Amino acid sequence: MQFSNFVRTFNAHSGAKELMEDMSCNPPGIDSVHRLGGGNPAIIPEVAELFRAELAKIASNPGRFDRMASTYSEPLGDARLREILADLLRDEYGWRLTSKNIALTSGSQLGFYFLFNLFGGAGPGGKRRRIIIPLCPEYIGYQGLLANKNDVVSRRSDIRKLPNRQFKYGLRMDGLEDVEDMGAIVVSRPTNPTGNVIRQSELARLDEVARARKAPLIVDNAYGLPFPGMIYVNAAPQWNENTILTMSLSKIGLPALRTGIVVANEEVTEILGRINALTQLAVGAAGAALAAPLLKNRELLRISRDLIRPFYQRKVTEAVGLCHEALSICDYYIHKPEGSMFLWLWFPGLNDNRALYRRLKARGVMILSGSEFFPGLRAPWTHSRECIRINVCGDADMVFGGLRIIGEEASRLQARAA
């Protein structure tokens, strides 16, 4: 069959597709799998119970059921959720916004597809506009969203070693203000894969640089505040008319309901509404139906603060301890975990994290190769072949078992490369 050039965007290797496949299947011949790969959130019993109870209320209330399942929502997404969320963000953070500043998308990943294409690629007069990733490694899902892969550009970070085999990437601002073809700057905060939380002052600098180029600063808040709240250092979310803040219901435990949230100025949300209508008529309303009452009575903030954040913080802290026990046979560093549900491990001299990924998969340990987290990095950087990401949500024995095998295979590859 003859496809149009549209297919080119989707034909290249995609880390996102590999990760989604890995999450749902077992490597052949392996019964017991150590699932340290994709980004499925944990099922926290008290949280799941809250959602089930809300669903039961919807099922027994014809009005609420019809609203969720039997009527299309408006192009910007369920009006009730957007109004409640606007109230909440105004009350909590003092932001001057209304429901018109909020657009829903079918998962924030789709929101990123729209936003990258709105701000990256050919602009007026055919001039290229690029999506700038100032702190790399960055989220795997920013790769491959644009037809021309050169329209996404990453900049190397500084590496700062810390005590106790930890390290931290630092944002390099030098030369950023000279980037003339900047279409948007994008950062995830907390960063997936590293758990880095860039500082308020750094966000303010990025905002300044972006404004000077008439470009938005896109802040991906999938793990941030006020929900799911997976931030373990002092930080507050930021928003202004030049910031596009994306949020998601996925990491509070509803990834299958595909509900993404974009908070932006009305020019941006209005366009997103048009794209929603054109591409899908309306965004599914199940996530909104469950979340709206829990946002109205602030239950979602309470569970984020009292259940979700402590759960993941404990998991991350526990996993750091397990790494020290299981990885002592190789040379390793752990990125300082300031947020999210991942650990980012660096094995200096490893040289081939794709090979490590394959060896581990063959032994039933699912991880993500760090090489997938450098979207748009042009210049070679050995470091991009030395890291992996693990999801630490699972049971401690499973994580420990996986880490031991990671240690064995990483030390073999390190010895071979030496």
Ligand X SMILES: Cc1ncc(COP(=O)(O)O)c(C=O)c1O
The residue ranges that bind ligand X (CB under 6 A) are 39, 107-109, 139, 141, 188, 192, 220, 222, 248, 250, 255, 260
CB 376 within 8 A of CB 153: yes
Q: How far is the CB of 15 from ligand X (least distance, A)?
A: 12
Q: How far is the CB of 106 from ligand X (least distance, A)?
A: 8
Q: How far is the CB of 189 from ligand X (least distance, A)?
A: 9
Encoding tokens for residue 36?
Answer: 């340290």
Q: How far is the CB of 124 from ligand X (least distance, A)?
A: 29
Question: How many CB atoms sit inside 10 A of residue 278's CB?
Answer: 9
CA-closest candidate to residue 144, choices 251, 4, 278, 17: 17
Q: How far is the CB of 220 from ligand X (least distance, A)?
A: 5
Buried b (16+ CB within 10 A) or exposed e, 97-133: bebebbbbbbbbbbbbbbbbbbbbbeeeeeeebbbbb
What is the three-class DSSP state of 153?
A: strand
Cα distances (Å, whole numbers) of residue 186 to 26, 131, 141: 34, 7, 12
Which residue number, 142 or 357, has a Cβ lying nearer to ligand X?
Answer: 142
Q: How far is the CB of 107 from ligand X (least distance, A)?
A: 3
Query: Phi then psi for 183, rounded to 5 degrees?
Result: -95, -35
Which residue number, 260 or 402, has a Cβ lying nearer to ligand X?
Answer: 260
Which residue number, 219 or 330, has a Cβ lying nearer to ligand X?
Answer: 219
Which residue number, 5 or 24, has a Cβ lying nearer to ligand X?
Answer: 24
Spatial strand order in the sheet of 387-391: 158-162, 166-170, 333-335, 342-346, 387-391, 368-369
Which residue number, 23 or 320, has a Cβ lying nearer to ligand X?
Answer: 23
Sign of the CA dihedral running 77, 89, 131, 12: negative
Cα 130 from Cα 110, distance rounded (Å): 19
Which residue number, 39 or 402, has a Cβ lying nearer to ligand X?
Answer: 39
